[in-house]
Structure 1
Amino acid sequence: MLLKDEVELLRRIPLFAHIEPSRLKLLAFTSERLVFEADEVICRRGDPGDAAYVVLMGSADVLVEQPDGSQVKIATLERDAVVGEIAVLADVPRTATVRAATRFEVLRIAKNDFLQLIRDFPEVAIEVLRTLARRLSWALGELAEARGGSAPPDGRSPPALP
């Protein structure tokens, strides 16, 4: 894929929509394009949070391990999703495992590049905060429902996590 095509892919993602094309070109150039086949693990819970990933194609499952060792799917990642930013921002290990459900293509943005992007473009930081707030709202709704309360008020499915 050409660099200009990767820039266009990044522009359609809300997180990067307001970034000037020259900066997106640099981001695309410094990022690594990775392809995973179905059932391949992209990252595991506990891995270092060394990068964020932008989903270019395919789908993947976000899995959380249960005390009995089984894994529960808590979300599905699809095109244009950004995943891994929590571990990057909080400087903590991955919070879940991500496994490709289909052929899965991502753009891997190294931690330092992602953090520099946030420093350079406050609107990216605001979009990240909005995404994290939606995830927190969903998680709190799920917790309330699990404890016998009602479903999340907006009825939306969970956004990506790790």
Structure 2
Amino acid sequence: MDRKKPGFSLKVNQEITNLFKNYGKLKKFEKDDCVIRQGEYANHVYILLSGEAEVVRVDRFGNENRLAVLGGGDIVGEMGAFLENNKRSATVKAKSLALLALECPNQMFIRGLFSTSELTYRVLKNYAERLNELNISASTHYQSRVMLVVGHYIESRVDWSQKVCEVTVDIKELFDRSSLELWKITEAIYNFKALRIFNKIVFPAEINIVEINPEEGENLTDKTHELKEGEPNRIIIEVDTERFREQMKRLSYC
């Protein structure tokens, strides 16, 4: 497990730590004690003084995912100070035998924060990094969900007895079922092609996209056959069934 991940990189020096002793109180935690707990309201910010803590998030399946290890100088729960009625997105618990931290009520933390421009800048920078990470994650997740929808449609038309099979995608039918726009359907198919799950694609002439051929030098002699010309409102694809099956499993867990 990484000691730090994006979004858990805010660390303060001794000077700032000493300043915040005027705004909070010392608390000691023993191993496995929770500093903050996922799902609880965020009422305090903690500055770790000594020892180690780990960040844990429980997913929707009940699995514990360890995200980072924190140590002296790290700040825990600072985002909750700016969001009303905010709940913790993860649990932070003591990893070492003893963990010493400075507990600051949200309003006291903000008061101390604005007394030092250096920390204000670092909090804002850390917040921007978290937003960027969330944007990337959301974009990737959305693309995966679109691929899953298109993949389910194609899945029902695959001949699993063949290593490679030809599938016809009725664009209008897929749109009626999913409400996905044409460019999203096309993008999802391109993504499957980039993963070398679709070997060939033939688009209808009215879309004005030429057939996509396998990359030069790729040996597909055992997997390819002639495809007919594209029909109106239909996309013809050649599917590597084994790779497609594995990719659909991965997408289902995204």
TM beyond 0.5: yes
Distance 2:125 2:111 in 1: 19
Map Cα deviations across residues 20-49 of structure 1 (whole Å, 9 max, x no partner). Answer: x7xx2xx31341111111111111112221
Q: Which residue of 2 aligns with 1:101?
A: 95
Distance 1:145 1:54 in 2: 33
Please show how residues 16-27 of structure 1 align to structure 2 within 5 Å: 16=16, 24=19, 27=20
Paired residue secondary structure (1:33):
strand
Distance 2:113 2:29 in 1: 27
Q: Which residue of 1 aligns with 2:26?
A: 33
1:145/1:56 Cα in 2 relative to 1: closer, same or farther (>3 Å)?
A: farther
- The amino acid across from 1:83 in the alignment is V
State the TM-score, normalized to the length of structure 1.
Answer: 0.67
Q: Which residue of 2 aligns with 1:52?
A: 45
Distance 1:123 1:44 in 2: 28
Given the alignment of the two structures, is residue 83 of structure 1 paired with residue 76 of structure 2, yes or no?
yes
Distance 2:104 2:64 in 1: 27
Q: Is the 8 A contact 1:117 1:124 kept in 2?
A: no
1:77/1:11 Cα in 2 relative to 1: closer, same or farther (>3 Å)?
A: closer
Given the alignment of the two structures, is residue 62 of structure 1 paired with residue 55 of structure 2, yes or no?
yes
Q: Which residue of 1 aligns with 2:231?
A: none
Query: Percent identity of the aligned residues?
Result: 23
Residue number among 2, 12, 15 corresponding to 2:14 in the alignment: 12
Residue number among 105, 109, 113 corresponding to 1:110 in the alignment: 105
Distance 2:124 2:34 in 1: 27
Structure 2: 5+ residue stretches without partners: 1-11, 145-190, 192-254
Higher relative contact order structure (alpha carbons within 8 Å, sequence separation ≥ 6): 1
Distance 1:75 1:144 in 2: 23
Distance 1:141 1:12 in 2: 34
Distance 2:40 2:81 in 1: 11
Give the greater-gyration-radius structure (CA): 2
1:59/1:11 Cα in 2 relative to 1: closer, same or farther (>3 Å)?
A: closer
Distance 1:12 1:122 in 2: 15
Residue number among 126, 132, 135 corresponding to 2:127 in the alignment: 132
Instruction: Say what the alpha-carbon RMSD is for the aligned residues.
Output: 2.7
Paired residue secondary structure (1:29):
coil
Structure 1: 5+ residue stretches without partners: 1-9, 149-162
Distance 2:70 2:34 in 1: 13
Distance 2:136 2:71 in 1: 22
Distance 1:70 1:45 in 2: 13
Distance 1:76 1:145 in 2: 26
How much has 1:73 moved relative to structure 2? 0.7
Map Cα deviations across residues 63-115 of structure 1 (whole Å, 9 max, x no partner). Answer: 11111212111111111111110111223111111111112111111111111
